[in-house]
Structure 1
Amino acid sequence: MLTSIYGAISLGLILSLMALGVYITFRILDFPDLTVDGSFATGGAISAIMITQGYNPWIATLGALAGGLIAGACTGVLHTKGKINGLLAGILMMIALYSINIRIMGKPNVSVVNLPTLISPFHKPIGLYIAVLFVAIIIIKLLLDAFLKTDLGLALRATGDNSRMIRSFGSNTDTTIIIGVSLSNGLVAVSGALMAQDGGYADTTMGVGMIVIGLASVIIGEAIFGARTVFIATLAVIFGSILYRIVVAFALRVPWLEASDLKLITALIVIVALVLPTIQRAMKQKNLARKRSLELSTITASDQGGKR
Structure 2
Amino acid sequence: MFISMFGAVESGIIYAIMALGVYLTFRVLDFPDLTVEGSFVTGAAVTAFSIVNGIPPFVATVLAAVAGFIAGCLTGILHTKGKINALLAGILMMTALYSINLRVMGQPTLSMLNETTLFDQLESVWAPLGIDSLFNGMISFLGIEQIPRTWAILILMIFVTIGIKLLTDFYLKTEIGLALRAIGDNKKMIRSLSANTDSLIITGVGISNALVALAGGLIAQLGGFADVNMGLGLIVIGLASIIIGEALFGTKSIVRATLAVILGAVIYRMIVTLALEVDFLEAGDMKLITAVIVVVALVTPKVIQTRREKKRRIQKRAQLRAGGDGHA
TM range (shorter): over 0.9
1:273 aligns with 2:297: yes
1:283 is aligned to: 307
Distance 2:205 2:300 in 1: 29
Q: CA deviation at 1:121?
A: 3.1
State how 1:1-308 maps to structure 2 within 5 Å.
1-122=1-122, 125-304=149-328
Q: CA deviation at 1:301?
A: 1.3
What is the identity, as a one-letter code, of the residue corresponding to 2:16?
A: S
Conserved 8 A contact 1:37-1:210: yes
Length-normalised TM-score, structure 1: 0.97
Q: CA deviation at 1:127?
A: 2.5
Conserved 8 A contact 1:6-1:126: no
Distance 1:284 1:257 in 2: 35
Length-normalised TM-score, structure 2: 0.91
Distance 2:321 2:116 in 1: 74
Could you say what secondary structure the match of 2:232 adopts? coil
Q: CA deviation at 1:40?
A: 0.3
Q: CA deviation at 1:151?
A: 1.1
Q: CA deviation at 1:248?
A: 0.4
What is the identity, as a one-letter code, of the residue corresponding to 1:44?
A: A
What is the identity, as a one-letter code, of the residue corresponding to 2:15?
A: L
Report the RMSD for the aligned CA atoms in angstroms.
1.0
What is the identity, as a one-letter code, of the residue corresponding to 1:272?
A: V
Could you say what secondary structure the match of 1:114 adopts? coil
Distance 2:311 2:89 in 1: 44
- Identical positions, percent: 53
- After superposition, the C-alpha distances for 1:233-263 in whole angstroms (9 at most, x for unaligned) are 1111111100000000000000100010001
Could you say what secondary structure the match of 1:202 adopts? strand
Distance 2:35 2:243 in 1: 19
Distance 1:43 1:132 in 2: 19
Moved over 4 A (4+): none
Distance 2:70 2:268 in 1: 29
Conserved 8 A contact 1:216-1:244: yes
Q: CA deviation at 1:112?
A: 0.5
Distance 2:75 2:81 in 1: 10
